[in-house]
Structure 1
Amino acid sequence: MSVNIDSRVVTPGSDDHVDEAWQLKEAINRQEGVLKQRYDFFTSAYRRSTVYCYLQEDELVGFAAVRRDGYILFLAVSPDCRGRGLGKRLVARVADEHDTITCHARTSNENALQFYEHLGFEIKRRIDNYYEDGGDAYYLKLGSDAGLADRISELMRR
């Protein structure tokens, strides 16, 4: 049985779905020990971002909060919905609007690093003590001045 996934875009300045996004982020944090941002930081960054959301039966199951420059602040997909291409589709939505996509990922977050590597992101540098709790991060980048849309289109055909 197929379940419909609806997409929505939350524009900067809005807090539509911010509480659901916080709850999803916190559930992932409890389960996987990642996405450790504090509430005030998270909600402030969310409200300043364009947020691409996926909802299933009016429940938020995935989102990507993105700055104007194509930097992904947060990317989260419910563990129950992983493996269906939602994360890839969220990155593809970002690629529709930006020539280059960047983000940080914890050096210890193997799931995220494998996901980003599969999409073609490259590790540009390691940053020690990047996170508030002292965790290290990789700075990742996808795309260049040309070709990102073609790479994402190819990825979506796989």
Structure 2
Amino acid sequence: MSVNIDSRVVAPGSDDFVDEAWQLKEEINRQEGVLKQRHDFFTDAYRRSTVHCYVQKGDLIGFAAVRRDGYLLFLAVAPDYRSEGIGKRLIAHVAEDHDAITCHARTTNENALQFYEHLGFEIKRRIDNYYEDGGDAYYLKLGADVGIADRITDLIRR
């Protein structure tokens, strides 16, 4: 990862980077057809979350919004910055504060599913018609069984 990328944490209740996060999410939605949340839903969930951000030259290039219980609401990395370890590092930041991380991913989102599997997430169940548009989801979980922090630390060292 480039040395000129800054890590920031946005506390619950803050609007810091919310507009930038929305724009990044929408860019990914246009390109890949995922992250299809409505604006009001997205901004409300963002404001209620702790958001780990990576910023380069003032531009948001990745973020992970997580609830107090370790549920990952959003994870997004700008397409030009993928394969640089940013997503992995965002998950590592979340893992520092939680014994387990859970999330949902579209059953058709192969990139996300491969990413989560690589990190050690396990598919716990499939949920039909989970999304507003009728899309199906997998519920995934990392940790709580055996040392999540150790697993993430090992991944970052690779």
**TM exceeding 0.5:** yes
Q: What is the one-letter code of the residue matched to 1:59?
A: D
- 2:97 aligned residue: 97
CA distance in 1, matches of 2:132, 2:102: 20
CA offsets per residue over residues 31-75 of structure 1, 9 Å max, x none? 000000000000000000000000011100000000000000000
The Cα of 1:79 is off from its aligned counterpart by: 0.1
- 2:54 aligned residue: 54
Structure 1: give runs of 5+ residues left out of the alignment.
none
Q: What is the one-letter code of the residue matched to 1:10?
A: V
The Cα of 1:146 is off from its aligned counterpart by: 4.2
CA distance in 2, matches of 1:88, 1:28: 18
- Does 1:25 find its partner at 2:14? no
Q: Report the secondary structure of 2:34's partner residue.
A: coil
Residue 122 of structure 1 contacts residue 140 of structure 1 at CA under 8 Å; is this kept in 2? yes
CA distance in 1, matches of 2:144, 2:155: 16
Residue 3 of structure 1 contacts residue 56 of structure 1 at CA under 8 Å; is this kept in 2? no
Q: What is the 5 A alignment of 1:1-158?
A: 2=2, 4-158=4-158
Q: Report the secondary structure of 2:99's partner residue.
A: coil
Residue 99 of structure 1 contacts residue 146 of structure 1 at CA under 8 Å; is this kept in 2? no
Hey, which bits of structure 1, 4+ residues long, moved more than 3 A? none
CA offsets per residue over residues 85-131 of structure 1, 9 Å max, x none? 00000000000000000000000000000000000000000000000
Q: Report the secondary structure of 1:51's partner residue.
A: strand
Q: Report the secondary structure of 2:62's partner residue.
A: strand
Residue 62 of structure 1 contacts residue 86 of structure 1 at CA under 8 Å; is this kept in 2? yes
Q: Report the secondary structure of 2:92's partner residue.
A: helix
Q: Report the secondary structure of 1:95's partner residue.
A: helix
The Cα of 1:3 is off from its aligned counterpart by: 5.4
The Cα of 1:157 is off from its aligned counterpart by: 1.1
Structure 2: give runs of 5+ residues left out of the alignment.
none
The Cα of 1:144 is off from its aligned counterpart by: 1.3
Q: What is the one-letter code of the residue matched to 1:135?
A: G
CA distance in 1, matches of 2:156, 2:8: 19
CA distance in 2, matches of 1:34, 1:83: 18
